[in-house]
Amino acid sequence: MAGGGAGSAAGSRADEQRQRILAGAVTVFSRRGYRAASMNEVAEQVGLRKPTLYHYVRTKQDLLVAVYEEVLDESLARGRAIVARASSTREAVRELIVDRAAYTCEHRDLLTICFEEESELPPDLRQPILERRRVYERLVREAVEDHLRESGLTLPIAVNVYVNTLLGAANWTYKWFDPAGPRTPRELGEDVATVLLAVLDAG
């Protein structure tokens, strides 16, 4: 029993250290760009010696993959929770839009990496990342399709076009959101949802 507890504590500490390293990598990658950043800079960012850093992560590429996995896994978990608790199919779509835009604004450093460094992933690592993204996109598409089916509405464009436009509008806020501006991430997300739902409601 005691040994198991000690092992669990050690595992928890290792996980915490990896999260610290990942957060440091996000800071360095978003500031310097993935290609220009070095593992030395990541180690300095988190206050570790380079050999200690390599105890937790093997390569810079592993850190980049971990960034994508964190964003996509969290996005999917949030999306599923939204759909599960929504009071209606329309509310599910609305909240998915609001949450996507707000999350993007709140994590601009993460999203800058995800949207601008994808070409740095080799094909064998890119495919699992793309599949994770497709799972999230399917969640959004199914929410839209459920609402259309339940409401009897039709879109003036293909559902896939609407969903890609929806996600593009919500995701692109990382480029122009002003943290010092008059709108909070959540308020901006609600503005984006208002515009996009007008198309859906007009059907």
Instruction: Give the tens place of pLDDT for each residue, 137-156.
Output: 999 999 999 999 999 999 99
Say yes or no to pLDDT of 5 above 90: no
The reply to whether 67 and 33 lie within a common domain is no
Total domains, the chain: 2
- Domain identity same for 112 and 141: yes
Q: Are residues 39 and 70 in the same domain?
A: no
Looking at the fold, whether 27 and 85 belong to one and the same domain comes out as: no
Structure tokens, 181: 């501006």
- Reported residue count of the chain is 203
Q: Which of 20, 35, 58 is the last residue of a domain?
A: 58
Based on the domain organization, do 50 and 65 belong to the same domain? Answer: no
**From CA 85, how far away is CA 83, in angstroms rounded?**
6
**Sign, CA torsion 175/177/180/185:** negative
Instruction: Give the percent of the chain with pLDDT over 90.
Output: 67
Element (H, E) at 129: helix 123-151
Same domain, 7 and 64: no
Does an H or E element contain 99, and which? helix 89-106
**Comparing C-alpha atoms, which of 72, 92, 182 is closest to residue 135?**
72
For the entire predicted model, the pTM comes to 0.85
Whole-Å CA distances, 108 to 93, 102, 179, 185:
22, 10, 10, 11
- The model's pLDDT over 146-196, given as tens digits with 9 standing for 90+, comes to 999 999 999 999 999 999 999 999 999 999 999 998 999 999 999 999 999
Q: How confident is the model at residue 116 (pLDDT cuts 50, 70, 90)?
A: confident
Regarding whether 70 and 48 lie in a shared domain, the answer is no
Residue 111 CA to residue 1 CA, distance in Å, equals 42
